[in-house]
Amino acid sequence: MEYLQRIADRQLALLLEAFGAVQIKGPKWCGKTTTAERHAKSVIKLQDPDRRAGYLATARTKPSILLKGDTPRLIDEWQDAPVLWDAVRTAVDDRKLKGQFILTGSTVIEEGKNSPEVQKRMHSGTGRISSITMYPMSLYESLESSGEISLQELFDHKKNDIDGIASRISIENLILAACRGGWPDSLGVKSDKAKLLIAGDYLNVVCEEDISRIDDVRRNAVLARLILRSYARNLCTLAKKTSMLADVQAEMESVSMTTFEDYINALTRLYVIEDIDAWCPAIRSASAIRSGKKRCFIDPSIAVAAMGATPKTLELDLRTFGFVFECMCIRDLKVYSQAIEGRVSYYHDRYGLEADIVLHLKDGRYALIECKLGSRDIDEGAKHLLEMQQLIRTRNENERQVPLREPDLLIVLTGGEFAYTRDDGVKVIPLACLKD
């Protein structure tokens, strides 16, 4: 299959100019190794079954030997031999050259003084090893978004005229894209039925193998599935862990909160789960703002697989697909925001005022975003955004000495066909028209 350009390609090339080494983090099967190989001049794969034992033995005795080769040298799944981190850091210091190494990994090294992984590392790598997180493919990267509307240009006011720009993807195909997910391997498959098998197999591997391999602690695959199903049922909500645990206990009574949190931690370290933090500006009193995490997966297809849903069942249940759609919007905005030095959060208070997504740029600019699948919900989404904007203005009138920046953009992301700017200034944009 022809390589499809990733947004991470640009980030990786830039970081290799600035740092001695770059670590690419992210879930399995999202394309980290393939992208890294396009920038590398030599490669070592620690999970190569023919060479793994020799590589690990060398890493234990003299890790610097594994670093010899043309640069940038790719060390794939480096976390299998954590000592290589310090070896890379030392080599970067000794060589005093940029772009020497690329490290890829599918699990988060657990921080903390008692972590066995951290104990095998002496240094953090600060200033020598930079990091980027790679996500499954956005709709723009999979060529399903036209990319006619750029987030960067919207922020810079270079793209004010969006009226009439049309999405090329129907709601049925949008549902299929969410169920299939952003897994590169699924794009080379011909039949839609076969494409949907990728996410299901990913879920099986995580529950039956990876969740135990991550730290050599044997975990129950059935319990892992129950927890992921509960997470999927609470997708893009502020559900508390106690309520999700109760959901799990309905089918497996003996599960404790300690066990539940252990599984959640493992799934987070595997980049399966990635919750969204709250944005807590001083608009209202702290007690009014809900600051729990929004429950989310790294890719919407994992939630679909965990629920046992299909494109056909979701076509008949658009309310459920609305949450899946929001997860897909979050995934794509995380991909796009990295390219423009941004980050994603959400806002929700006990009065019901909310913004599904708050996209922050490094320079302080931000957008308030609502995700609304159909045209009938656009007015409601726009109303929430305008209420937030007015609340900030009212707050600034009362607190003139420390004003809070007003939102630079108000956006309703939709699964609809056309983009346009409303009379009230809110921009309505189909997700399948967007890019970074």
Q: Taking residues 261-288, what's their average pLDDT? A: 89
Q: What local confidence, expressed as pLDDT, does residue 114 receive?
A: 45
Mean pLDDT of 34-56: 95
pLDDT of residue 122: 54
Q: Residue range 137-163: average pLDDT?
A: 93
Poorest-confidence range of 28-37, 102-111, 287-296? 102-111
Q: Tokens 């919900």 — which residue?
A: 377
pLDDT at 16 over 50: yes
Q: Report the chain's mean pLDDT, rounded to a whole number.
A: 92
C-alpha of 298 from chain center: 5
Q: 1 pLDDT exceeds 80?
A: no
| Domains recognised in the chain with CATH numbers | 7-133 (3.40.50.300), 149-435 (no CATH)
β-partners of residue 316 are none
Query: What pLDDT is stored for residue 281 in this prediction?
Result: 86
What average pLDDT score do residues 169-187 get?
A: 96
pLDDT at 125 over 90: no
188 or 252, greater pLDDT: 252
Q: What percent of the chain has pLDDT over 90?
A: 82
> What band does 256 get if pLDDT is binned at 50, 70 and 90?
very high
Question: For residue 382, what pLDDT is reported?
Answer: 96
Pick 270 or 284 by higher pLDDT. 270
Identify the band that residue 324 occupies on the pLDDT scale cut at 50, 70 and 90. Answer: very high
pLDDT at 112: 47
pLDDT at 111 over 60: no
| Per-residue pLDDT tens digits for 201-233 | 999 999 999 999 998 899 999 999 999 999 999
pLDDT-derived band of residue 116, with 50, 70 and 90 as boundaries?
A: very low
The pLDDT, as a whole number, for residue 113 is 42
Q: Is 218 exposed, middle or buried (0-12, 13-18, 19+ CB in 10 A)?
A: exposed
| Half-sphere exposure of residue 297: CA atoms within 13 angstroms, side-chain side | 32
Sign of the C-alpha dihedral computed for residues 159, 163, 168 and 171 taken in this order: positive
State pLDDT tens for residues 127-136.
789 999 999 9
| % of the chain exceeding 70 in pLDDT | 95
Res 291 pLDDT > 90: no
Decide if pLDDT at 159 tops 50: yes
Q: Can you tell me the mean pLDDT for 256-272?
A: 97
* pLDDT tens digits, 364-398: 999 999 999 988 899 999 999 999 999 999 988 88
Instruction: Return the number of other C-beta atoms located less than 10 Å from residue 104's C-beta.
Output: 25
Q: Is pLDDT at 349 greater than 90 in this prediction? A: no
